[in-house]
């Protein structure tokens, strides 16, 4: 082919191609057009391949023209594609009576359970004070749940924990296994397994034979704390728990310790923080008739049981109580979350209502 003929052919391809493009109404046909005019077997591609037989001068002229044509066809294709896509969308919105400008439906996202979040927050507070996180069994021996904690058989203190027993008995016909009623059995398990110094927190599920109401669940979490070493005193207990309260409930917190009884600590205490709803005043605004609902007018909120590990417990695990002392505490993360976030019914945690769960 002469140069002249090639240039004419290029013009022809351009003219017919652009004209054909104008007539195309669907994206499907558009693809056919692309194959026909820009594909590897298109006339244009064949022309470009044939250029090698031309002289250098001719090739320069024709090559430049052929590339221009190709670029023009490509641009026109993109433009047409855009127009067709817009038309398609417009058609969809009228034909399907659908407003395509509406935002999409959000995809529901899972998240950590509020108890899990609270447990992690509390454990992290203690981890940053040098405690280690340990876990233990939910099905427990009477031996650890009671005996090792200075609560012998028939001791009236057993009534403090309404127990769910496993239908399993030893040779004497005694029930020996239960769902743990607290995380305290882990105190004995941990001390049996290591020498002091001990600094651990134990989060875990506990079970009680309990009628449920707004403040009682038959299963719930506890976080146990235990620190044993030479020379640990009640001042260490106070300092550690004071720091904990400030981290969870804010820097302004004051704390109060009152005597309480747990067979495995001596002395035993309950720890309270000043009510952060009424700032410990017991009422919400001055002159108000009604007392503060959160602390029931007392100005204080009890958040956990604690005490110095009982010498008998230390003896039981083979620690010499004349050398080692320690403190222990146990708290309920659901209760902490209830106080912190104003949740008024503990049953909400485990009734799987997304309206509640998705708030956290």
Q: Which residues bind ligand PHE (CB under 6 A)?
A: 182, 184, 262, 265, 268, 305-307, 328-330
Catalytic residue among 62, 188, 228, 265: 265
The nearest distance, CB 158 to ligand PHE, in angstroms, is 12
Catalytic residue status for 161: yes
Catalytic residue among 208, 272, 309, 335: 208
Q: Is residue 82 a contact partner of residue 89, using CB atoms and an 8 Å limit?
A: no
Catalytic residue among 272, 328, 335, 337: 328
Catalytic residue status for 222: yes
Position with the least CB separation from ligand PHE: 330
Catalytic residue status for 187: no
The nearest distance, CB 305 to ligand PHE, in angstroms, is 3
Residue-wise DSSP of 275-337: -TTTTTSSBSSTT-SSBPTTTTTSSEEEEEEEEEEPHHHHHHTT--TTTEEEEEEEE-HHHHH
The nearest distance, CB 138 to ligand PHE, in angstroms, is 14
Q: From the CA atom positions of the chain, what is the Rg in Å?
A: 39
Catalytic residue status for 279: no
The nearest distance, CB 306 to ligand PHE, in angstroms, is 5
| Residue matched to tokens 């044993």 | 228
Q: Which is nearer to ligand PHE, 37 or 207 (CB)?
A: 207
Catalytic residue status for 202: no
What is the C-alpha separation between 212 and 204, in angstroms, rounded? 19
Q: Which is nearer to ligand PHE, 280 or 307 (CB)?
A: 307
Catalytic residue among 33, 222, 255, 306: 222
- Burial bucket for residue 159 (CB in 10 Å: 0-12, 13-18, 19+): exposed
- Looking at residue 351, the DSSP 8-state letter turns out to be S
CA-to-CA dists, residue 131 to 1, 114, 202, 305, 311, angstroms: 88, 22, 10, 18, 22
Query: Which residues are catalytically annotated?
Result: 161, 182, 208, 222, 265, 328
């Amino acid at each position: 082919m002469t140069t002249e003929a090639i240039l004419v052919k290029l013009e022809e391809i351009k003219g017919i191609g652009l004209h054909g493009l104008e007539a195309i109404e669907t994206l499907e046909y558009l693809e056919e057009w692309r194959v026909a005019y820009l594909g590897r077997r298109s006339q244009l591609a064949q022309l470009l391949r044939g250029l090698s037989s031309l002289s250098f001068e001719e090739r320069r002229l024709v090559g430049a023209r052929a590339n221009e044509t190709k670029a023009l066809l490509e641009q026109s294709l993109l433009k047409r594609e855009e127009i067709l896509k817009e038309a398609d969308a417009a058609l969809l919105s009228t034909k399907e009576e659908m407003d395509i400008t509406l935002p999409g439906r959000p995809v529901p996202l899972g998240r950590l359970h509020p108890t899990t979040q609270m447990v992690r927050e509390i454990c992290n507070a203690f981890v940053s004070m040098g405690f280690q996180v340990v876990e233990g069994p939910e099905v427990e021996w009477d031996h650890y749940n009671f005996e090792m904690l200075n609560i012998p058989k028939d001791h009236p203190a057993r009534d403090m924990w309404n127990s769910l027993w496993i239908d399993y008995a030893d040779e004497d016909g005694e029930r020996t296994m239960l769902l743990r009623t607290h995380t305290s059995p882990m105190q004995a398990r941990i001390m049996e397994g290591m020498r002091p110094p001990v600094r651990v927190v134990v989060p875990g599920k506990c079970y009680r034979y309990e009628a449920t109401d707004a403040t009682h669940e038959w299963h719930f979490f506890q976080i146990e704390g235990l620190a044993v070493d030479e020379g640990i005193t009640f001042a260490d207990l106070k300092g550690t728990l004071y720091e904990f309260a400030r981290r969870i409930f804010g820097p302004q917190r004051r704390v109060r310790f009152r005597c309480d009884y747990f067979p495995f600590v001596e002395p035993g205490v309950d720890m309270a923080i000043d009510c952060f709803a009424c700032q410990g005043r017991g009422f919400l605004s001055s002159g108000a008739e009604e007392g503060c609902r959160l602390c029931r007018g007392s100005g204080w909120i009890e958040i956990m049981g604690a005490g110095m590990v009982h010498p008998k417990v230390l003896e039981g695990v083979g620690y010499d109580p004349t050398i080692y002392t320690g403190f222990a505490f146990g708290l309920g993360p659901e209760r902490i979350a209830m106080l912190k976030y104003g949740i008024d019914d503990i049953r909400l945690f485990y009734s799987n209502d997304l309206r509640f769960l998705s708030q956290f």
